[in-house]
Amino acid sequence: MDISYLDLLMAQQEEFAAEVGGGGGVWVVADVVDGALAPVTLEALGLARTLADSLGAYVYGVLLGEGITALAQTLYQAGADGVRVADDPLLGRFALEPYLKVLSDLFEQERPEVVIFGATPQGSALAPRLAQRTGGGLIERITRASLDEATRTVVGAVPIYGGEYFELLACPAARPQFLTITPGAFPAPFMDTRRRGEPSSLPVEPVTPRVRLLGVAEGFAPPPLPLKRAPLIVAAGRQAGDFESVRALASVLGAQVAGDRGAYDAGWIGREQVVDVRGTTVAPQVYIAVGIQGDTFHNAAIEEARYIVAIHPDPEAPIFEVADLCVEAQPAQFLPELLEALKSGKT
């Protein structure tokens, strides 16, 4: 019987994947979205395989959900040596306490060295809580990773200052080392379709959630969005003239009201509404400056705004140097006309 060396090697891999036990190693907790593995899970397995090969350790995948057992073969093909599956109706919809119970019990028994999550809503909720429960360390939203083989410590690179620099973080004294990886930052691994294994089932115990959905709240108004996160801002300066017109413009546009130091001194806005590097820096989609001269402190605070509209009577006003659209006009005269046009739908 003619059997090639490659065939023998692949057969060994399939058998090996089925026999791997537990303990230690590098673990990946999968994200399942609409019954399929999220791409970041495969990217995490690629990183796990690289780390495990350097550590001389195994790679394990963990699947939680309902009707997800068949996805285990994809984890094997992506590089997992063993897979643990908690397939239960109690896990059909992500809920923090049931997921935490399964994972904390598993990790208490297996004592992993490294645990990797995607930096997704699910992973970002689970990773810090598991790190706290197990006494481990956590590095979030890494985009690069290396290994200090002498101490078996993962060094994660986290982008700062808009990605212009990277901060290197590590947890040399804490185990397990929990990581969340930014989706798309790591390459997906080679998928070996001939690689297979037999996943192990995890027990799922009923857990009473601490937070329950009781129904729709009546008579409740959510708190306003912080100015720093507002997508649309109408800001006033001393030369706005009629501040009520500024309020009216913000109301028509669905924007938040703000202003510069002059507007605060005039008593038009509160301290938390001051746009200034000494107050609040903003990054809205649209920033409309009404009667704002535009000093250095104010202009620096709006430099992240995507589109700036400036309305001011002085053509030499510094605000015009940073604005995308400049309107040379008296705000008290221009705003009523603009409001009328907006309300009539002529704009």
* Same-domain status, 137 and 184: yes
User: How many domains are there within the chain?
Assistant: 2
* Same-domain status, 149 and 257: no
12 lies in some domain: no
pLDDT of residue 9: 43
5 lies in some domain: no
237 lies in some domain: yes
For the chain, residues with pLDDT lower than 50 are 1, 3-22
* Same-domain status, 94 and 149: yes
61 lies in some domain: yes
pLDDT of residue 8: 42
3 lies in some domain: no
40 lies in some domain: yes
Instruction: Give me the CATH number covering residue 55.
Output: 3.40.50.620
* Same-domain status, 237 and 193: no
**Pairwise CA distance, residues 84 & 207, whole Å:** 20
* Same-domain status, 80 and 161: yes
**Pairwise CA distance, residues 65 & 45, whole Å:** 19
* Same-domain status, 163 and 260: no
| Domain hosting residue 312, numbered range | 227-344
84 lies in some domain: yes
* Same-domain status, 106 and 170: yes
* Same-domain status, 249 and 330: yes
**How many percent of the chain have pLDDT more than 70?**
91
* Same-domain status, 43 and 163: yes
Instruction: Give me the CATH number covering residue 296.
Output: 3.40.50.1220
* Same-domain status, 52 and 187: yes
pLDDT of residue 109: 94
* Same-domain status, 271 and 315: yes
**Pairwise CA distance, residues 84 & 143, whole Å:** 26
Three-class SS of the chain? CCCCHHHHHHHHHHHHHHHCCCCCCEEEECCEECCEECHHHHHHHHHHHHHHHHHCCCEEEEEEECCCHHHHHHHHHCCCCEEEEEECHHHCCCCHHHHHHHHHHHHHHHCCCEEEEECCHHHHHHHHHHHHHHCCEEEEEECEEEEECCCCEEEEEEEEHHHCEEEEEECCCCCCEEEEECCCCCCCCCCCCCCCCCCEECCCCCCCCCCCCCCCCCCCCCCCCCHHHCCEEEEECHHHCCHHHHHHHHHHHCCEEEECHHHHHCCCCCHHHEECCCCECCCCCEEEEECCCCCHHHHHHCCCCCEEEEEECCCCCCHHHHCCEEEECCHHHHHHHHHHHHHHCCC
* Same-domain status, 195 and 233: no
**Pairwise CA distance, residues 101 & 316, whole Å:** 64
215 lies in some domain: no
